[in-house]
Structure 1
Amino acid sequence: MVSSLPAHVHIREVGPRDGFQNEPETIATADKIDLINKLACTGLRRIEVASFVRPDVIPQLSDGVEVLRGVEVPDDVALMVLVPNSKGLDNALKVRETFSEVAIFVSASETHNKKNVNRTIAESMADNAAIAKRIVGEGLRCAAVIATSYGCPFEGRVSMTRVLDIAEQFAAAGATEIGFGDTTGMANPAYVGEFFTAAIRRLPGVEVTAHFHNTRGQGLANAFAALQAGCTSFESSFGELGGCPVPAGSTGNIASEDLISMFHEMGVDTEVSLPALIDAARAAQHVLDRKLTSHSIVAGPINWKPTANTSSCC
């Protein structure tokens, strides 16, 4: 592991895509646009906003075009869309001018990939190679995501060698960023440290990104282990929104505000205003009409000052 922590890390906010897609009640397009605009004013420089999947599969994201056309974000904020296949890319390119990054994906587990997209890994990777070439040809940044990188609920532990072999295939196809997803919260800090040490070594010149879920309460510990191993790129979701629909019970991503609070207290800069991000998460809580599970929504920033009439506690 590296002996010291990095001075700065990059955060991609994935709540508007990875988070919203798991909400059972339809979120109004106007509310999505408002929340994304709020996120874009926090100092976040990367936001995943839409997925071009079949509307009958994920109805919540069927308004991706309207969202992309409706948001108003600063010029230095990069918007990302996710595409599951060539057809999805065709649809995304109809609004090519609204985003600058495209994510493609595969599961490292054959069983999970089959349940998720009804393809083998080999079939997905063949399509991904063609998609990546088109993305690069459009002058867009290509990012790849490998789901179930640390374990699969159907197959158990997934071989690190298999995951990194897939990552090298993505890099060869043109991906300049590769994210490793803890899709159902099966990672642990010891393995994460070993994993990112190996991934960074095997993928020179590629931005290696950590994407953890808090399904079993180890999300922040895993993020710290990745940080110690030299990872400087992370994905998270405001309010701890998200999860994985395959299988049920796989709860949300680590909360962006909790992750950023931890980084800031360790002296690691993110360029994000934590109070503004907490305000955005609280706005999401209002839109969804339920309490979200982020700790920072309740506690506020660590330097929060109680009001005069706040009750004392021991």
Structure 2
Amino acid sequence: MIPAQSPGVSPVTLVECPRDAMQGWSHFIPTADKIRYLNALLQVGFDTIDFGSFVSPKAIPQMADTKEVLEGLQLTGSRSKLLSIIANVRGAEEAVLHEEISYLGFPFSISPTFQLRNTNSTIEESLQRVEDIQELCIKHNKELVIYLSMGFGNPYGDEYDAEILLYWAEEMVKREIGIISLADTVGLATPQQVSFALETLIRSYPSALFGVHLHSTPANWERKLQAAINAGCTRFDGALKGIGGCPMAQDELVGNMDTTLMIPLLQEKALLHELNEKALQESLRIAAEIFV
């Protein structure tokens, strides 16, 4: 039996990722539309919103206006916290100056090829970045979220097995990273992989919170999500309409897990509090306008 929860408190953390949905979109989404969409999402009741990124505009042109977007957000009355992605110390130095941001997310790829493509750094250089960014976060009262990207395999032929994922997760725990999200960057994960990794890590490192950032198709989303739930995972990323994918990964993207599919399943299991349905429908309406 799931214990009774305080109003508005869920047994799981649901993270909505409009940044991931927008960053690879084929045309630039006007700043005003981003603000309008995010302000609608802020009223839904998500725990966290991955809203933007402080990265090179040359690398991700869609996110060049993150600072302007942040200035337009209406945070009063919203219980959602903001997360921003950063790729290096320079981006982190900019992000930590914004009081509105609670979390900084750093993509640490366990695929050497993808780490170079995504952050222009080797895995060894990225490990040093993790340590430097963690210091910045502690100093500025932010929390660092590490995404172990390509966590379930990669399309480049780089060496991969579950032990590599477990090794790098342990390295993050050693550096006192409190939130570690296993990222299925190109949608390769099987339910069995998800189960094994989460069960092993949750049992081995109770001081850390392990989440999943799963990409999926309409055919396999439920089995992946169910595997994570059964393994004891309590942090889940998604994006409305299943849009998204890293533009640095490959040409054919597998979208984010569709939040509109995740919500009913989590609520059916009494794992998620009631959300603002009116605000959710308004968010979907706006998404239908801007993602065309």
TM-score in same-fold range (> 0.5): yes
| Residues 143-174 of structure 1: per-residue CA shift (max 9 Å, x gap) | 11110111111126722222122222222323
Which residue matches 1:169? Answer: 171
TM-score (norm 1): 0.85
Q: Give identity over the alignment, percent.
A: 29
Deviation at 1:103, TM superposition (A): 1.0
Kindly indicate whether the alpha-carbon contact (under 8 Å) linking 2:96 and 2:137 is maintained by their aligned counterparts in 1: no
Deviation at 1:252, TM superposition (A): 1.0
> 2:48 matched to 1:46?
yes
Which residue matches 1:31? Answer: 33
Which residue matches 1:14? Answer: 17
In the TM superposition, structure 1's runs of 4+ consecutive aligned residues that sit over 4 Å from their partners are 4-7
3-state SS in 2 of match to 1:248:
coil
3-state SS in 2 of match to 1:282:
helix
- 1:1-314 superposed matches below 5 A: 8-15=11-18, 17-73=19-75, 74=77, 76-94=79-97, 96-155=98-157, 158-215=160-217, 217-245=219-247, 246-274=249-277, 276-288=279-291, 290=292
3-state SS in 1 of match to 2:99:
helix
| Residues 20-39 of structure 1: per-residue CA shift (max 9 Å, x gap) | 10111111111111111111
CA distance in structure 1 between the partners assigned to 2:169 and 2:122 by the alignment: 16
Deviation at 1:216, TM superposition (A): 7.5
Deviation at 1:177, TM superposition (A): 0.5
Kindly indicate whether the alpha-carbon contact (under 8 Å) linking 2:43 and 2:78 is maintained by their aligned counterparts in 1: no
Larger radius of gyration: 1
Deviation at 1:42, TM superposition (A): 0.9
CA distance in structure 1 between the partners assigned to 2:203 and 2:160 by the alignment: 19
| Residues 281-306 of structure 1: per-residue CA shift (max 9 Å, x gap) | 23111123x3xxxxxxxxxxxxxxxx
CA distance in structure 1 between the partners assigned to 2:123 and 2:33 by the alignment: 36
Deviation at 1:90, TM superposition (A): 2.0
CA distance in structure 1 between the partners assigned to 2:67 and 2:186 by the alignment: 29
| Residues 263-289 of structure 1: per-residue CA shift (max 9 Å, x gap) | 22333324423553243123111123x
Instruction: Label 1:221 to 1:276 Cα distance change in 2 as closer, same or farther (>3 A).
Output: farther
Instruction: Label 1:153 to 1:274 Cα distance change in 2 as closer, same or farther (>3 A).
Output: farther
**Higher mean C-alpha deviation, range 268-277 or range 199-208:** 268-277
| Residues 5-49 of structure 1: per-residue CA shift (max 9 Å, x gap) | 89731101112x111101111111111111111111111121011
Kindly indicate whether the alpha-carbon contact (under 8 Å) linking 1:192 and 1:222 is maintained by their aligned counterparts in 2: yes
Q: Which amino acid aligns with 2:72?
A: G
3-state SS in 1 of match to 2:254:
coil
Instruction: Label 1:222 to 1:214 Cα distance change in 2 as closer, same or farther (>3 A).
Output: same
Q: How many residues align?
A: 284
Kindly indicate whether the alpha-carbon contact (under 8 Å) linking 1:103 and 1:142 is maintained by their aligned counterparts in 2: yes
